[in-house]
Amino acid sequence: MNKFRPFILALTVALSAMIAYGLWTRPGVVETDGQGFSALRVVEDIEQISKTHHSVAHPVERAQVRDYLVSRLNALGADTVKLFEYKGLTGPENKHVVYTFDATNVLAEFKSQTSQTTPSLLFVAHYDSRYSQPMPHRDTVWSYGAADDGYGVGVILEAISELLKVRDEWKQSVKVLFTDAEEVGMKGMKTMWAQNREQFEDVGLMINIEARGPWGPALLFETSKGNEKIMDLYSKAAKYPFTYSLTTVVYNFMPNFTDFTIVKDDIPGMNFSTVADINHYHTDLDNFSNINPKSIQHYGEQIVPIAVEYLTNTLYSDKDSLRATEDTTNFTIPLLGLFNFSAKGYMWLNIALFVLFVLMLFINVVRGSVSLKKVSCNAGVTLAVAVSALVVGEVVALLCALASDVKFQPFGILQGIKCDNGVMIATVALMAVVVAAIYLLRRREAAQKCANSIRESAKSVAVNQYALNRLYGALLLAFMLSALLLVALGENLMFFIPLAVATIALLLYRITRLKVWLLAAIAIVLLHALSFLYALAMALTIGALGAIAMLAVCDILILIPLADLYCSKRA
């Protein structure tokens, strides 16, 4: 069995990577004549919407898109379709150019047939495309709005079509708001919220749909505060869930805003978006030829079941049914699904795992399996390597920015760098190879110290102790960082998940002597790390390569000794 373990490990790593990137964990595209939500029917709408630029600088073309949407809503059987026109607006603020324009929002209502006084589910997307944007080494470009926000508009139209099939079961009603002038500072939503707030008075849930790039999974990247009941709804209904509560924290530090920003303190809601990739975002590359039906399908598979549950369940007949005071901590691990914890529940989970880790470390020290001094030193080495990875990552980002003549901002959003995704992957992969090579070199030195031992097993013991000392050193750092972030932010999943998984696996391995637990830990850490770091890298771009590399190296320094222990000959 020992000789097959390296092959089993390699297969596990490969399968984990494919699963993490959605090979079997995201929905297939439904054909136009298929049952259920069909991304290809959405594509037909996007083709019409994205034929021309339709920003605030293109009033004629924008009006054509608006007329098309009004006709689609009427064809779907909306009870009312109203236009809200706002004259003489200006924007964007503090940009290279300021436009003066009229904005017209489109609001449609689809009422419940069982009750006339019900709360509403409000779908929101904007129909204007991005205004002019200068690009490095290029003329000013204009977006066609195929993804941003053709995805949002098209997904809503297809979702309404699906929801109408169960309209006789609706206990709540539906509103659709297609906003104008979102790209110039959410002026359509801001003005409507200021002047026509009565249109929002019956809204019990808002679902906003955006697109920060044409491909990748559709991420629930933001919710309103006090999201406990919202996340209960999401975890209960959404298919193929993909969310991290940490993204709401990260998003608060980013310069991007959406229509949801205007109302999220007053209306319970969810904000969905793709996050890949930055070079297609707000540029002429956001066109029909670059759309991704698989990403579109992922929106629908999450949003339609949520809407069905909300509309057909009397639990939500109270407009305030989704309001709460507590936020949840949640994350998705591909294949394993969504994990959603109350604030208290997540705190107790952390405390339990922290105690278990300390207990496991204490037992191993007492038994002589590890040295507390070596573990502490290895924790310091892990931190030093992680910081070095951060510095190297930012240097690589700087060099790429200089090569592309793009202004560099440490940990900032960098757009216009060619092959940025490939550079990020190559940098992290090279770091993994270097770290693994150094680990094997030090491991060999540990084994050579026992080369003259009378007992042949001494070398095996030395190698095992080396792996355990390195592993517990990396876990000790993860433990300290998890505790620090839990106190500071209430979010620590990037360190807590590998700490928890590895600690539990070591406990089960100690009890059963079955190495399959170590293999399972490797798979789960990889599923989490590859999925989470992908989403983070796409959101933060190559400007944050240092942070991505640092987090990746922390995971790598846990994974390598786990793999070593799994493949070792010693039981």
The tens digit of pLDDT for each residue in 101-116 reads 999 999 999 999 887 7
For the segment 385-444, what is each residue's pLDDT rounded down to a tens digit? 999 999 999 999 999 999 998 999 898 889 889 889 999 999 999 999 999 999 999 998
Q: How far apart are CA 15 and CA 7, in angstroms?
A: 12
Locate the domains of the chain by residue range: 39-326, 342-567
DSSP H helices in 176-244: 187-195, 228-237
Residue 360 tokens read as: 């496991």
507 phi-psi bin (left φ>0, alpha ψ -120 to 50, beta other): alpha
The span from the CA of 436 to the CA of 84, in Å, is 61
The 8-class DSSP code of residue 280 comes to G
Question: pLDDT digits over 494-514, tens only?
Answer: 999 999 999 999 999 999 999
Q: Which residue has the tokens 């433990």?
A: 479
151: amino acid identity, one letter: Y
Does pLDDT of 322 surpass 90?
yes
Among the four given CATH numbers 3.40.50.300, 1.10.1060.10, 3.40.605.10, 3.40.630.10, the one describing domain 39-326: 3.40.630.10
Q: In the chain, what percentage of residues exceed pLDDT 90?
A: 84
Q: For residue 525, what are its two tokens? A: 């850490």
CA distance 362 to 504: 15
Q: pLDDT (tens digit, 9 = 90+) per residue, 124-149?
A: 999 999 998 877 666 789 999 999 99
